[in-house]
Each structure stands twice: as C-alpha cells, then as structure tokens.
Structure 1
Amino acid sequence: MGSLKQQSFLKGQNIGRRNEEVFIHKIFSDVAANNPNHIAITYEDEFGKDRSLTYRQLEARTNQLSRVLLKHRGELEASDALVGVSMQPTDQLPTILLAILKAGLAYLPLDPGFPAPRVKHILAEAEPLLVVVEDGADMTIYEGATAITYEQLLEESIRESTSPLQLDEDSELALVLYTSGSTGVPKGVRLLHSAMMNRLRWQWRELPYSASEKTCVFKTALTFVDSIPEIWGPLLQGRNIVVVPKHITKDPERFIELLEKKKIERLVLVPSLLRTLLMYLDMQEDKQLLAKLKLWVCSGETLVVSLAEKFLARFPSGDHTLANFYGSTEVMGDVTYYLVNHPKQLQGLDKVPIGRPLDNTIVYLVDKEMRLVPQGEVGELVCAGRNLAAGYIRGRDPHRFLDNPHTIDPEYSRIYRTGDYARIIKGIVIYEGRTDAQIKVRGHRVDLSEVERAVGASPAVDKAVVLCYKPGELSQALISFVTAKNNTQISGLQIESFLQTVLPPYMIPQVIVIDTIPLLVNGKTDRQTLLKQYESLNYEEEFAVSCNYQNVPLHHLPAARALFPTVASVVGRSVRGMVSIDSNFYELGGNSLNSIYTVTRLRDQGYQIGITDFISAKNMREILGRMKVESDSDSDESADGEQYIFEELDASHKDDVMTMITDSFYSKADLEQWLMPDVTREDYTDLMDKLWEPLVEKRLSFVVKSTDGEALSVALNFDARDEPEIHITSKLTIVFDFLEYLEGPIRDGQLPKGKGQILHCFMMGTSSNLNAAENVILMRQMEEHVLRVARQKGFAGIFTTNTSPLTQQLGTDIYNYKVLLDYQVNKYVAPDGTRPFGKAPDAQRAVCSWKTV
C-alpha cells in the first residue's frame, strides 16, 4: 500500500508574547533609561566630522519633537495618522522616525529621488498629516500637502519639555511602505508595531548580537522594508547605528573601508551587492578584509548556489554565516530563512532554499482552489501569523489578504497570498518563481505592468511591452519593446529620458524601438520572440565592431583595446551605443555593480585602476588616463595638468577675460538664453568692469593658459562673506536675483559662518576656440585648481551653483560635491511676479553644491 503524502505547510516556533510591550518607542525609552551614555546614532557629515547622539540625547530630542508633531496632528484629520518623510540618510532621519512614533503617528517614507508624479500619487492616496522634508527641498513636489523641514520642527521644539508624552492611546500602525502594484499603480502596505516587533524579537533570539557587536550600519533606503531591522534592531538593543550615505554604499572601496573601520559584524544586502563585494575582496591582497563581518543576510532577490559557493570559498572557516531570507513588505520583509556556513549544505541543490518560517508564522503551499498541495509539489506560497501587514491603504487588492481556511486559531486567522510558487522538500521551502509579472530589481519589487503603463504613457509611444531578461541572474535586464505613433522618429534613449520623470531609477527599462510587436495566433504578444530578438542584438563575437578607436591617442591605444571590448562584454546585450573614447560607462548601460566586474576583468589583462577612479570617470578618456599597467609608476599622474599654466588674475588678463566671459555667457549661458534679446554683449562688459578691481584685489581668481601663452579659460571666485556690492541696471539683474534667491538661504543657514570659510566659485568661462572635448578638459582643470586655491587659502569648502548639465555632472559624478539644492528653473517667480525663465523645459535645473576641502 502507498502512504498518504504530507500536506505542504510549515509552522515556525510558537513564542508566547502576550504581555510583552509591542510599541517600538516605548521599548526604546526603556533601553535609553538603561543606557543613557551609550552612543545611539553616528553620522559623518559633509565636513568629515562625526555627528553623534547618545541614548539620553536622542530620548530628549525625540520627546521634544514628538510634542511639536502632536500639535500638528491636533490641527489636521486623516484616516491613518501618517507623517511623510522625504529626507536623505543622516542622523536626522532615525531621529524624526522615533519622534513620529512617540507622537502616536506612523511614518510614510518618500524617497527624495522619487519623480514628482509618484510622490503626488502617494500623497493623494495616503493623505499624510504633513511631510517632513530637507531644508532647500523643492516644495512644489509636495503641493497639496503640508510640508515642513526638519530644521523648522527642531526650532519649534526647543521650548518643549524633554519628558515623554503620555498619550491616551497609541496607534497600532507604525508605518506605510509603498510598493509596485499589479494594476500599474503603487500601493501602500500598512505595517503594525506588533508585526515589526515579532520580526525583531525572532532576530534577537535566532541571530543575537555578539558581546563585541557594539555598532551596526543603517544603509538601506527608507522606502525598502529591510530598513526596519537595520534601524530598530540595534536601537532597541542598546547598540549604535552608523548612518551610511548613498554615495558610500555605491562605492565598494569606500563602503568596505567603512565596514572595516567601524568593525561591523552583520550586513543586510541584496545578492547583486554581495557579488560585487566578493569580486572586490578577490582583488585585494589583504585576505583578512571583513573577517569580523560574521553574518551576511541576503534578501530581496534570488540567491543562486554559485554565489553562495563563492561566499564560502572566501570565508571557509565556518565562522561566517550566509543567511537567505525570503519575504515581502506585506510580511514584514521576511517570513522564512535558511542559514549556510558549510559547502555540504549546498550539495545537490540548484538553488539556495528559502528555508523555514520565523517565529509565530505559518507558510502554506496551495493550488488555485486554496487547497494544500502534497509536499514535493509546487504550489502558491501563502503566509499567516504575526508578521502579516494590516492590508493596504484604502483597502486596495483585498484578494491578497483573506480569511485562513486551514485553521480556526485566531493567531493565524488571516493569510497573505504572496504570488510566489514554492515546494517543500524534507521540511525546507524551495522557491520556484512567480505567478504574475513581478520581479525583483536590486531588492525592490517591480511589477512589469506598472512599468509598461509608464512606457505606454510616453507621448510618442503607440504600443509597449515590458519584459525581464533572465530574472534573478547576473545578466538580468529590464527591457521594453515599443512601436512609435504614426511613424514618429523617436529613439529609445529619448523615451528613457521621459521615464526618468515618472519612474524611480531602478524601474527604468532599456527601451528598444521596433516596427511591429510580434503576436501569437491567439492575438497575444509573442514574448519569447521578443526575448530572442533582444538576445540576438549583440553576441560576444560582435563586440569588436561596436568599439570605435577613433581619436584614441596612440599611447593609450593598447589600453583602449583592452578597455573597450571589456566594457562591451560586461555591459553585454544591454549595451547602448558604440563604445568610444567619449562614451560614459553608465550611459552605455553599466552600473556600479558590474563596474567591479569590469575592473576585475581589466586586472586579469594586466591593467590596474581603482574602483573609485573607475566609478567617478566621466568617459573612457578619463578611464584610460587612470589605468596603469603593473609596472607603471605614479610619476605621470599629473601629466594632463602639465599642459597648462595657471596664473593668478591680474591687470594683464583683463581683455582676455572680458572676451571669454562674454563669449561663454552671451552665446552659451543656460539662464540668459531666456532673457534674449534684452541682454547684450555690452551688459557683460559693464558687469566685468565693475567686478574687475575687487576680483584682482581678493587674489582668488585665475586664468588658465596653454604652454605657448594663449588664454584658454578663467575662473572667478570670491569669499562668499566678502563679496563686493555693485550696481547694475541691465537685465542681468534678473539672473543675479535668481542666484541670490537660491544661494542666500543655503549660505546663511547651512554653511560655515564667518569670513575665510566659503570660497564662492561664481563664474567660469572658456575660449570660443576650444572644441567640445577640450572644453570638458579645461572645465575639469579649473575645478581641480579651484580646489587647490581653496586649500592654499584655508577655506572650509567651495560653494557653487551650476546651471550647465556639464558642470553639474562634473560636480556630482567626479568631484563629489554634495547637492544642497536641485531647483527647476522654470518654477522661479521674480520679485515683480513674473516668471523670467518660464519657457525653460522642466529638465533645466540649477544645482547648488558644496564640497568640503
């Protein structure tokens, strides 16, 4: 006789916690009382200084802030008492989150990088009481909501009591996280304090902090569910969290340096970042790097066996654990887990299991009628227990949260349908894919229908199909095939530029314009044919023809013949355009993850380049200049600079400077073009006449000349707190009023006080005789020399406003300026009520930036 197969369900440990505190802020207050002098939050600011708060200071500050927030709550009503938070990661971010919870409110993360339409949808649906933003934020994005800066809240709180609030009733809702929606519209997941605490208490029991683990990192975007254990896991255990800025996380070299410096012992990351870090570690001679980092938690993407094997090969002692977590926002991020620390655990497997359920949770595998399938068979994975969210904002998608037909236990009375397939083998869950069009991109859930809807909304697009090529693999690519309306001439890059205004960066596909969308006999899209068409776009043997070596200097040609094909092969089938000396790695389709792979491949061919040097290079020309063969010395690092002569501004330069400034701004200026014909060449002559003597007197400006004495460019600088008062009557007044409108609040409120602190780089001009490539080189030479001047004169940093896309890219991508304000030019209203730049496109920006010297 045959035996009945066991049904597919697994239950985590049942841990009774009926009388334990579930409110995060109350647990924090108890921890703060027991650890008043321990450091709670650390952040390295833009001046290179650590800002930190002790538990006593954080408790007092959040008590004050919560009282201010409660006053705002009293003035407004909402279905869910939410506070939007749109801030970059600094020490202020966890502080405001804790204050929100203490006020009996819930927080609603809004990434400052989200495009305006996405923000407007979330605000309209969630209806937060107010939105906390950064100083200098574009308030028009939050139109219709009450927006207030953290600094304003802090100023209001100074007079408030530092004792805890005593609320009549605490809100069970802790936060709302928006995810990609299957209907093409983002939806908000409602997470309760009790669900968060069930997840955290399981972590503390199963993966406790070691006695030496004093410091942890918070690096995950607040809009991503993994930020919850990164913030609250350490803070509710008396540990210190180090807030890591995005630009550090994206640079493996600097990120690993921080992990080593802070002696970090656990890290949460997506598998693609794990692959990148392992590649970087393999390049280093020091084999003890990150030896103290004992727990690596992977989530958000499929973890393949080959990557787990690479991890174990790097850390073979058995003291390092690779954890594979599975879940989604609707189940507090994680509902099952599998721990690996020995190769034997992977033998005979083609994928790393997602494991067993967490405490107080159950997973079931069911068929279409919600009946349990036998163990070993594939079924849809559904979850029950304390990790479940309380549904979606406005009750959307009710079919995802249902009554549980498999138990009468009230603890597990509701289930969530994940939309994932899985099977159970020997008590372990194995992931088998999706039931719908959702994929994971860098840990973020992306529904292809949402992307398809956005692509189809592009004005020139007739039909659009969005696909994922090899989901879960290193070569995964998000792609869209489109047809154009009425034979409109449109490129894929133009459509991608449109998508940047409506989708987050991780959701933007590579767009391919084709004549017709292939169909099956039933009239549906032939997706397999499209995937094969994408695959056939570029083959390995064709990479050579996509490399253009024109204009490569002879002495760089050997390196270029290694670099160009390597970039083409790494970027692979998503390569966009021909690889040439002026190509940008990221515009070709590269990213910070596969940049490591590129550097590794170059090293194998005998060429060395630092990952930071590679990531920050503007184009292949700069990469070639930074590449070294192993026998190279560093003696020629400044060779480019030796082609030019830098002279401090004096009377002999006046005619050349007048010409260069007038040519640069009258003919090419980004703002003045909207004032024509009311601005003349003579207006610049008048301006420079009035500025000339102060410029020469202050000795902060300079001219760049060629070795034969030709003036090529000029940089004009002042001490920001020692600028001359001049009177001009031309229409240029509009430009200077606009710049003061942007710069004044930043200069007076965010930058160092006193003279001799801020070098204001306010005008740069180049000779009209330069070609485009020479112009880029000269702009870079001036940027480097401005930095030298600032150092020599003892300034704390450089302040500048860039209206040119070129100088904006140089500042952020190469010189690591911190963007303090990114302003849409056509929004400016002059004192007389007019919009002088109203005809400028939405994409034209003015970017105020600061760089610490």
Structure 2
Amino acid sequence: MGSIPQLSIVKGQHRDLKSQRLSKIFEVNLTSWSTNTAMIYNCPRTSKQNQITYEDLNAKSNRIARAIIRESAQRFLKPNQDNDSIIAVCMEPTDKLVMILLSIWKSGAAYLPLEPSFPTNRIHHILNESKPLMVICDDIVDTTIFQKTHTLRISDLLHKASTMDDNNLSDCKLLPFSNKDLAIVLYTSGSTGIPKGVRIPHAVILNRLTWQWEQFPYMAEESIGVFKTALTFVDSVSEIWGPLLYGMSILVIPKVITKDPERLVEYLEKYKIRRLVLVPTLLRSLLLYLGMNKNQQLLYDLKYWICSGEPLSITLAKSFYEYFQEGHHTLFNFYGSTEVMGDVTYFICENRNQLANFDRIPIGIPINNTIIYLLDQDYRPVKNGEIGEIFVAGYNLAAGYVNGRDEHRFIENPLAVDSKYSKLYRTGDFGSLNNGYLMYEGRTDSQIKIRGHRVDLSEIEKNLLRLEYIEKAVVLCYHAGEIDQAILAFVKLDDDSKPRTGLHIESALKDALPTYMIPQVIIIDKVPLLVNGKVDRQALLKSYENANNNEDSEIIIDYDYSDVPESLQIIAEDLFETVGSVIGRSTRTTLSVKSNFYELGGNSLNSIYTVTKLREKGYFIGISEFIGAKNLGEILKKISKGNVIEMEEDDVGSTLNLKAYPLRHEDREIVIEIITESFYEKADLEQWLKPDILPSDYYDILTAVWGPLVEKGLSFIVKNGDTNETIAAALNFDARDEPAVEVNNKMVIIFDFLEYLEGPIRDNYLPKGLNKILHSFMMGTDQKLSAQENIVCMHFMESEVLKLAKSKKFAGIFTTNTSPLTQQLGGDVYGYKTLLDYQVNKYVHSDGWRPFAKAPDSQRAIVHWKAISDEGRI
C-alpha cells in the first residue's frame, strides 16, 4: 500500500483566550505598576524630556475619554454604517499621541490613524467611507482637509478634559449604541485603486500580544520598549501595547530620529533597548551604518531583531551574523498582513549554520490559535512541498473591511472542524510547506511591500490613468528591497496631448498618493507586447536597466558646476559623481549645489551607502550631517572644511606621520594579526566561504611564506611615527620567484581563483624573467584606524610600493583587487591599467563547484598592471 500524502495544513498551539477590551486590561494591571514610568519622550525641537507614570497616564486618559464622550453627545454624533464608533487621529508620534489612543479605547471607540503627510484626496476618501465621529489632530494641522468631519485640536481637547473626573469609566458610561469590540481601523492600499479599511477587534490584538509574551517574553534586564513605527502601519500596535500592557516603559521616538540611522542608534544605545521591530530595508540601513563603526560594537545589547513587513533575504540574514554574535543575538522573520494583525507565522534564526539549510528564509510556523492552509484554486489543500495560496484561520483574523468591502477576501472555511476556525482570510500570497516550515512563494496579484507598507501597483496605475493625457500606464517594481529599489511607471501619452515630462506627472500624483507610492515616471513611445498580446514587462524593466546604470552602459546625468567655487571644483566632482552613481537610476534632473539628495531619488538606505562611498574616496561626513543637509551645496561645504584627505604624493602620510620599515622576522605576529583581521573580516571573496575558513588559516599560510617574505626584501610594515605602533603591512613578491606553498584548507579556493585570473596574463602578456614584475600580494591595515586614516594608510603604502618598484628597477606592479575601494583607488587614483574585469560568481573551481555563486553580479575581481618603465608598457 502507498503512504497517505501529507497535506499542507499547519496548526499553531491552542491557547484559551478570554476576550477583553485592552483598556480594561490596562486598568486591571495598574495596581501592579502604578508608579512605574509608562512613557518617555524627548522633544526634538526643545530637547525637553517628558516622562509619565502609569498612574498619571491612566488618570489623564480617563479625563480625555470623558471629554470625547461629552463632545459626541453634545453634537449628536452617531456610529457609522458598520455600527462602529471610530475616532480618527492625525498626530505626529509623541507622548500625547499614545495618551489619546488609550483615551479613545476608554471611551468605547476605535482609533483610525491618519498620516499628516497623506494627500488630501486620500484623507477625504478615508473620512467619507469610514465616517468617524470626529478627528483629533495636532495644533499645527490645517483642519480644512477634514471637510465636514467634526475636528478637535489636541490643545482644545486637553482643555475640555482638564475639569473632568479622572476615575475609570464603567461600561454604562461609554459611547452608546456602537460595537465596543472594535479597537483599530487601518487603511491599506487596494487593488481597485481605492484604499480600504481593515477592522481589527480587541480580541485579535490580544491573541497576537499573548503569543508574543509567551513565546518571546521580556527579559529580566529589559525595561524599555520602542515605539518608532508609523501609526498607520500594523507593527505599531505591538510596539505600543506590548510593553504598556506588561508594565514596561515605551520610548516614543520622533520621525526625525527614525529616519536618521545615526541618531536612531544613539537612542537605542542610550536607553539599552533589547528588542527592535523593523522592516528589512531599515535593517539593511542599520547594518551599513554599524559596519562603518564596527570597532565600537554598537547595539550589542539589542538581542532580539524582529523583521516583518517585507521578505527577509538570506543575504541580509548572513550580513546580520557577520556583525552580531551567534548565540547572543537572534534574528526573527515574521509574516502576515494588516488583515491578520500583522503576524501569523514566525521563524527564528539563531546562527549562520541554520541558513545553510535554506535557499530562502522561511516564514516559519503559525502563532497560537492559528491555522495556515495552502489551497489550490478549488480550495483543496495541496500536497506537502507543492505551492498553494496561503489562507489563514483563527483568532488573528480581522473583522472584515469598512463598509463590507471585498467580502471575497474573508470566506467561510469549508475545512473547519472547530467553530473558532470557521472563517478564512485569503492572503493573495503563494506558499509551500517544506520540512515543517512555510516558505513564501510570491504574490498572486500586483501587491508589493515598500518600507513595510503594502502597495498595490494597480492602485498607482489607476491613478495614472485618471490623468486625461495618459493613454496607457504600466507600473512595475524594480529590485524590491534592494538599495536601488524603485517603483516604475511606464507611461504612453495621448497622441493629442501636449508634451509632458515624467516629473510633471509625478507631481500630479502627489495629490492622490502618499509619498512612498509615488513612482518614477518614464515616458515611452509604445508599449512592448508579447506574442499573446500581453504587456512585455521584462522588456520594460530591461529597457530601464539598459538606459541607466547597468554593467554595459554609463549613467547619463547632467552635472551643473556653475555655482561651485573653483577651489572646491575637484571635491564637487567627486561628490556629484558619487551621488549620481548611487542614485543614477532615480535621477531625472541636473545635479547642482541646489539639488536635494532625497528629491533626486535618494532614501535613508542609499544615503548611508553614499556616505560610505564618499569615505572610501577620502571624504568624511557624518550620517546625520548628510541626511540633514538641505542640498548638495551644504554637503559640499561640510566635507570641504578640513575633512578631506588630500591625495597629492607629497602630502601622503602627513596626517598620521607614517613611516615605512623593511619587514623583519620579529614583525611576524603583528603583521599576521593585521593581515588576518583585514582579510578575514573585510575581504570580499572570503565572505562566501565562511564558516569553512578560519582566522588560523591565514596564520598557517603566512607562517609558511614568512621566511621568503623577509629574505626577498620586497615587503614592509608601516608605523605611526608618533606612537611607534605598527598599523599596516604590505607583502610583495617577485611574480616569477614566489615560494611554493601547500595549502591544506579552504583558502586554497582563493589561491586557485587568483591563479586562474592572474596566471594567463602573467605568463602570456607581462615581461619575462626575474626582477620584472613586482606582485603586490597583500595589503592590510589595523582595524582600529578610522575610515579617513585607512585611506591615508592605503595611499602611503601605494606610494611606498611604487618607490620600492622603481628603486629595484621592476618593469611594473601587478595586483588583483577584489575590494571596491582598492579597485577605485587603483584605476582612478593610482593609474593602474585594467587587464581583466571578472564577475566572480561565474568562477567554476576545478572540482566543478562554484564557490562564489551567491555573490551578486556586481561583485568583480580586477587584475591591474602599472607600468614603471618602457619595458612594462603592454
């Protein structure tokens, strides 16, 4: 008999759950921690810190709740068509915002967040559909955008509440005639082109939080949580109420801090934050920043890193464990959507070895009181390993959409045995089940995630087609989640319309779409079609790539240096070209001193990348300074005020008082340490071989060649003349007199690869005989050096190698560079000629293995040659 096929149905742990309004739980728990600090908020404008205890928060929220109830009664405000009493909130994140949210719950209403930056049309739609009782807004908000909806400024509401009773309200005193189970309404992007509101009850939030408290309990040393996510995003719910219903403090982080990785890290360090919820895009930004400051071991107290909102790539997970310590720091991958309270499955990643078992990060297993079904188009479970659409049943399901929209997303569960699983939510995602873990397999429709926000590309498309001069529009996402991510709108104009630019159309969309949904508009003459008549989407993406920054074409950007002082011209060229190279695909206008980085197409992720590239060129500017600059002219002034590392040969080494000394036997330990740290921690090839290579492998190899290195007299160390400390080393050989070394570890892959690149060139194109080719074998600098000092040291060593080669009468210098920094310095600064530019992921080892297969196409190995004499010219 054959075995019964396993079906793709996965059930989370069952836990009894007593449904309660969360404001009641807050009040019941109050006796245990009434004097504890509930909230901490530092005003970015005044630097004043506000703290409020649980007791004070409860009392003030009771007064505000009574003021809300009285205002509603006096104005005869009624529930909406769903019998929901909703109060819209349009406020920036502060301590007052959280107080208002708790007050709304205490009044018996649900809160509906409105982002102050939302386009007016979007706000009008949300208010017209959800029909809230009122809007509570910051004092500075223009209340005319709320039209006829009753509006209260926060100062007016607090004044009305000041004379109210501060005791807890009994149920009979709450807002009458409405559904008291509803807690929050969150609006998301809709496939019909119209945003839709998700109705989330108290019980759904409680199930999600109870699972969190049980599965990932707060640590003994964990006293402060972080509220930093936009209120319109579902992850804000667990950020706020997870700690506040558990007796902890929450640190309310203003938007201006959240957008600045440098200041955000300062906050997280200062308050010893132990867990952080973030989208993978922000994780990538933070890792880039942390990598620039690795010696400081920043955020090593932050143990739980919880990713959600976007797919988490395996490359990013590996990068996480290149910085953080395995066993001490844990990376989580949560999966879900607003309709299922943000998270319904989870995967725990504790070390790099786990990642070796997957080609993608799993979305994991279901949370408590949840069942995940993978179904075919006839709603039948697929077999284990097959791909099916993800359906969710259980306590985490929302109560549908406002006004009963899209009923087909919430359906009866034909497979239910237990009544609590009687409803199914159709996610629109595909998944598979492998070895007990759920794997994400993509979307069934046009939805993507941008910085955690769900964006339906069809909504953007429909808004474009509402512009009368657009005949056809195709909206696609390029490299979602990557540094060069972009939403692209390929637009064909009506033949009778007057000429328009992409920027003009983008500006027109700002009245209908939030900023994160505005696409880069590309005007096209015709829409490419497949043989079946459908739009050739790949052809459009390819045309975009070819027209911009791919391997085979240059970025075409206009640079305007007319307002740059002559003394800053060289620095300006480096700055503008760096910015252009990083955001070249997004740049649709001339770069000048008046250009704003973010208006050009920059974002927080590629701003860090830009700062890194500038540091590699020798220019130092802080992340906060870069982000805060109003235009490139301001950045130019900052990096020109004594922060530039001069590249003239006469000045090389002057900053650090560097001195070179021939390599000696007694230098062995310090040189091996410097080389090992430089290559094991930072080398571009070795990262793909970890954990199969070890620091001790470098020790073994360098020890084997140490004698010849010293005896040949072609290598040297670099010391800081002020401290006499060895801070760098350059190891060189005569390319035709290198010692034979038997390599008995995985480092043999590196040596085989380099020989594969260099051997044919050395043997067939370079001068023959001894004392002709100086092979610059390895250069390393002390990891304690700053980015500036590292550049100075690299310049100094290159100058010394050149002097050495000339004094020994070599024909030229031969080297292979795998680091973008040394590649750039070699080609652009030191005048090396490129003999071979090789894409490393194409390399096939002699045993048929592709050791660097996971490297991106952009990772290159460049074989360089610098001729010194006429004999060396090739």
Give the whole-Å Cα distance in 2 for the aligned partners of 1:604 and 1:5. Answer: 56
Q: 2:239 aligns with which of 227, 230, 239?
A: 230
Match of 1:76 in 2: 77
User: Displacement, 1:76?
Assistant: 1.4
- Residues 440-459 of structure 1: matches in 2 within 5 Å? 440-459=449-468
1:678 alignment partner in structure 2: none
* 1:355 Cα deviation after fit: 0.4
Alpha-carbon contact 1:576-1:587 (below 8 Å) kept: no
- In 2, distance between residues paired with 1:22 and 1:355? 29
- Structure 2 residue matching 1:546: 3-state secondary structure: coil
Match of 1:550 in 2: 561
1:492 matched residue in structure 2: 502
Equivalent residue number for residue 351 of structure 2:
342
Q: Which residue of 1 aligns with 2:104?
A: 100
Once residues 632 and 524 of structure 1 are traced to their aligned partners in structure 2, the CA distance between those partners, rounded to angstroms, is 53
Unaligned ranges ≥5, structure 2:
647-874
Against the structure 1 CA distance between its residues 217 and 388, is the aligned structure 2 distance closer, same or farther, given a 3 Å change threshold?
Answer: same
Give deviations 1:601-654, integer Å, cap 9, x for gaps. Answer: 2212222111111112233232222226997599xxxxxxxxxxxxxxxxxxxx
Tell me, yes or no, if structure 1 residue 590 matches structure 2 residue 602. yes
Counterparts in 2 of 1:648-667, with a 5 A limit?
none
| 1:210-266 alpha-carbon deviations (Å, 9 max, x no partner) | 111111110111110000000000000011111111111001111111111111111
Equivalent position of 1:400 in the other structure: 409
Distance in structure 2 (CA, Å) of the matches to 1:617 and 1:176: 37
Paired residue secondary structure (1:333): coil
Question: Which letter does structure 2 place at the counterpart of 1:10?
Answer: V
- Return the offset for 1:358: 0.4
**Residue 490 (structure 1) shift:** 0.7
**1:213 and 1:265 in contact (8 A); partners too:** yes
- The counterpart of 1:135, out of the listed 139, 147, 150, is 139
> What one-letter code is carried by the residue in structure 2 that aligns with 1:396?
R
Distance apart, 1:534 and its partner CA = 1.3
Question: 3-state SS of the aligned residue for 1:584?
Answer: coil
Decide which moves more: 443-452 or 169-178.
Answer: 169-178
| 2:296 counterpart SS class | coil
Q: Does 1:626 align with 2:638?
A: yes
Query: Is this contact kept in 2: 1:391–1:401, CA < 8 A?
Result: yes
Shift of 1:68: 1.4
CA contact (8 A) 2:484 2:606 kept: no
Query: Considering only CA atoms, is the larger Rg found in Structure 1 or Structure 2?
Result: 2
Indicate if the aligned counterparts of 1:543 and 1:568 stay in contact, CA closer than 8 A: no
Q: Pick from 372, 380, 386: which aligns with 2:389?
A: 380
Amino acid at match of 1:267: L
Partner of 1:785: none
CA distance in 2 between partners of 1:386 and 1:309 (Å): 34
Identity among equivalent positions (%) equals 51
Return the letter of the residue paired with 2:266: E
Rounded Cα–Cα distance in structure 2 between residues aligned with 1:337 and 1:375: 19
Separation of aligned partners in 2, 1:533 and 1:549: 26
Partner residue, 2:716: none
Give how far 1:475 is off: 2.9
Cα distance in structure 2, aligned partners of 1:229 and 1:271: 17
Distance (Å, rounded) in 2 between the aligned partners of 1:317 and 1:523: 52
Q: Cα deviations across residues 359-407 of structure 1 (Å, max 9, x unaligned)? A: 0101010111110000111110000000000001111111100111112
Q: C-alpha separation between the residues in 2 aligned to 1:251 and 1:382?
A: 37
Q: Is the 8 A contact 1:543 1:565 kept in 2?
A: no
Q: Which residues in structure 2 correspond to 1:221-260 (within 5 Å)? A: 221-260=230-269
What is the match of residue 704 of structure 1?
none
Deviation for aligned residue 1:590:
1.0
Q: Secondary structure at the match of 2:534?
A: coil
Is the contact made by 2:280 and 2:481 (CA closer than 8 Å) also made in structure 1? no
More off after superposition, 385-394 vs 546-555: 546-555
1:330 aligns with 2:331: no
1:510 aligns with 2:520: yes
2:22 alignment partner in structure 1? 24
Residue 431 of structure 2 corresponds to which residue in structure 1?
422
* Contact 2:620/2:644 (8 A) holds in 1: no
The amino acid of 1:209's aligned partner reads Y
Q: Identify the residue that residue 570 of structure 1 maps to in structure 2.
A: 582
- Alignment-derived partner of residue 364 in structure 1: 373
In 2: Cα distance, 1:21 partner to 1:401 partner: 21
Q: Secondary structure at the match of 2:342?
A: coil
Q: CA deviation at 1:411?
A: 1.2
**Does residue 207 of structure 2 align to residue 198 of structure 1?**
yes
The equivalences for 1:108-127 within 5 A come to: 108-127=112-131
Q: Compared with structure 1, are the counterparts of its residues 441 and 632 closer, same or farther at alpha carbon in structure 2 (3 Å cutoff)?
A: closer
The amino acid across from 1:61 in the alignment is K
When residues 378 and 587 of structure 1 are mapped into structure 2, their CA distance, relative to the original with a 3 A threshold, is same
Q: Give the corresponding residue for 2:9.
A: 9
Report the CA distance between 1:16 and its aligned residue: 1.6
SS in 2 for 1:574: coil
Query: Contact 2:469–2:497 (CA<8 Å) still a contact in 1?
Result: no
Q: How far, CA to CA, are the matches of 2:530 and 2:419 in structure 1?
A: 48
Structure 1 pair 447/631, CA: closer, same or farther in 2 (3 Å)? Answer: closer
Question: What is the correspondence of 1:720-731 to structure 2 with a 5 Å cutoff?
Answer: none
Residue of structure 1 equivalent to 2:683: none
**Residue 609 of structure 1 contacts residue 627 of structure 1 at CA under 8 Å; is this kept in 2?**
yes
User: How far apart are 1:549 and its partner, in Å?
Assistant: 6.0
Aligned twin of 1:63: 62
2-structure distance, mates of 1:337, 1:447: 24
Q: Is the 8 A contact 2:555 2:584 kept in 1?
A: no
Q: Which moved more, 1:562-571 or 1:178-187?
A: 562-571
Matches within 5 A, 1:157-168: 157-168=161-172
Separation in structure 1 between the aligned mates of residue 390 and residue 596 of structure 2, nearest angstrom = 43
Show the counterpart of 2:360: 351
Specify the code of the residue in structure 1 equivalent to 2:185.
V
Residue matched to 1:528: 538
Q: 2:6 is matched by which residue type in structure 1? A: Q
Q: CA separation in 2, counterparts of 1:629 and 1:354?
A: 48
Once the two structures are overlaid, the 10-residue window that deviates more, 490-499 or 602-611, is 602-611
Q: Which residue of 1 aligns with 2:182?
A: 173
**Which residue matches 2:229?**
220
Counterpart Cα distance in 1 of 2:57 and 2:561: 59
Q: Secondary structure at the match of 2:585?
A: helix
Cα pair distance change 1:460/1:563, threshold 3 Å:
same
Measured in 2, the distance between the counterparts of 1:105 and 1:217 equals 25
Aligned pair in 2 of structure 1 residues 628, 341: CA closer, same or farther (>3 Å)? farther
Matched, 1:295 2:307: no
Structure 1 residues 804-819: aligned runs within 5 Å: none
Distance change (3 Å), C-alpha of 1:253 and 1:529: same
Task: Please tell me whether residue 37 in structure 1 is matched to residue 35 in structure 2.
Answer: yes
Distance between the aligned counterparts of 2:369 and 2:612, measured in 1?
A: 45
Post-superposition offset of 1:537: 1.5
Could you tell me how far apart the structure 2 residues matched to 1:358 and 1:630 are?
55
Q: Residue 528 of structure 2 aligns to a residue in which SS?
A: coil
How many angstroms apart in 2 are the aligned matches of 1:155 and 1:113? 26
- CA contact 2:312–2:333 (8 Å) conserved in 1: yes
CA distance in 2, matches of 1:348, 1:120: 49
Instruction: Name the counterpart of 1:313.
Output: 322
Secondary structure of the 1:118 match is: helix
Q: Structure 1 residues 579 and 57, CA, compared in 2 at 3 Å: closer, same or farther?
A: same
Classify 1:349/1:562 alpha carbon distance in 2 versus 1 (closer, same or farther; 3 Å). farther
